[in-house]
Amino acid sequence: MGFQCGIVGLPNVGKSTLFNALTQTAAAQAANYPFCTIEPNVGDVAVPDDRLDTLAGIAGSKQIIPTRLTFVDIAGLVRGASKGEGLGNQFLANIRECDAVAHVVRCFEDSDITHVEGKIDPIADIETIETELMLADLDSLEKRVIALEKRARGGDKEAKESLDLVNRSLALLREGRPARLVDVKPEERRAFDMLGLLTSKPVLYVCNVEEASADKGNAFSDQVMARAKAENAQAVVVSAKIESEIAVLPPGEQTEYLEAVGLEEPGLNRVIRAGYKLLGLVTYFTVGPKEARAWTITVGTRAPQAAGVIHTDFEKGFIRAETIAYPDYVALKGEAGARDAGRLRLEGKEYVVQDGDVLHFRFNT
């Protein structure tokens, strides 16, 4: 199960520097000029989770396999991208393929790095990007209305449902509000997602600050944090420069570097976890002497579908899920202790897997 988070923002805000640090590679150019990224770069990153190491230690697992999240570095958008300015159309299409958007916002001053708008104003930068995405969505939806109306008049039930969602989305977009604010019922979610709207995607604001503000942020990032809170979005503070320096250090030296700059962990860990949360994802574990492994599922996933993430045969032949809550596994020193204490449960097809569950699936071959 793959989940993609697209990294967007104006040129020269630190997107590619952040991506390089995320993937610990120089695959994406980081240069002080617009459009240095011509093709989207894709990188899988491990989702940091201390629980996995704890479980592996208890079980004596020989191998530890974390779950992963995919980040896509998308070239800098500029004003007019929705009309094809810069390399707009190509990159808007790249965003459309992602599940969520990580919007990198410049929250630092540096006379050596030009700002495409000529001034540092993170809220204005956010609104520039959001406006371009909304204009692209407006254009996309308005082109569909006539055909949908014709099909709806002909009694096409699916067209009627789509038309209703299109009109509700258009009403918001014309007010200058993103499509993610549309009130969508659970039974409408699939049809709404099929509209492929750029502004329907959940947003994570990544405030790129100078090194001295990496721990607590600054006045610029405070503005972004306030906006994120008002939108019920996610926001994190990082210094892309620090993160790029940490990424190339050996693991043993990373801790020393973090202590030296007053950080408890890399800011990228917060970015990854926030992206994970933004997508509505949770983790369950399979643990044994061979390996301890984390698996990604969406919130609300039932046991058979969770089993299907490992292998489709597990879902088809699902019988039961032997389930131990993470705190019980740790407190009782593993599966045997949990079983003896009556904390190992047998759950059926309707069980909704919880974050941190340690599972062993029984299935028919």
Residue 85 to residue 77: CA distance in whole angstroms? 9
Please say whether the beta carbons of 59 and 287 come within 8 A.
yes
Is 14 annotated among the ligand-binding residues? yes
Residue type, 337: G
Residue 131 to residue 123: CA distance in whole angstroms? 12
Residue 231 to residue 276: CA distance in whole angstroms? 18
Is 300 annotated among the ligand-binding residues? no
Q: Which two tokens stand for residue 255?
A: 């801790």
Is 62 annotated among the ligand-binding residues? no
CA distances from 208 to 5, 144, 223, 245 (A): 17, 38, 13, 14
Is 111 annotated among the ligand-binding residues? no
| CA of residue 86 relative to chain centroid, distance | 26
Helices within the chain (DSSP H only): 15-23, 50-59, 88-96, 122-142, 145-153, 157-174, 189-193, 219-231, 240-247, 251-260, 267-278, 303-310, 312-316, 326-331, 335-340
Q: Residues for the chain: how many in total?
A: 365
Residue type, 146: I
Q: Which two tokens stand for residue 325?
A: 């809550």
Instruction: Say how many C-beta atoms besides its own lie within 10 A of residue 31's C-beta.
Output: 13
Is 182 annotated among the ligand-binding residues? no
Please say whether the beta carbons of 129 and 178 come within 8 A.
no
Q: Which two tokens stand for residue 93?
A: 């299409």
Is 16 annotated among the ligand-binding residues? yes
CB neighbour class for 125 (10 Å; exposed up to 12, middle 13-18, buried from 19) = buried
How open is the CA angle 198-129-175, to the nearest 5 degrees? 70
Detail the residues annotated as belonging to a binding site for ATP. Answer: 12-17
Name the binding residues: 12-17
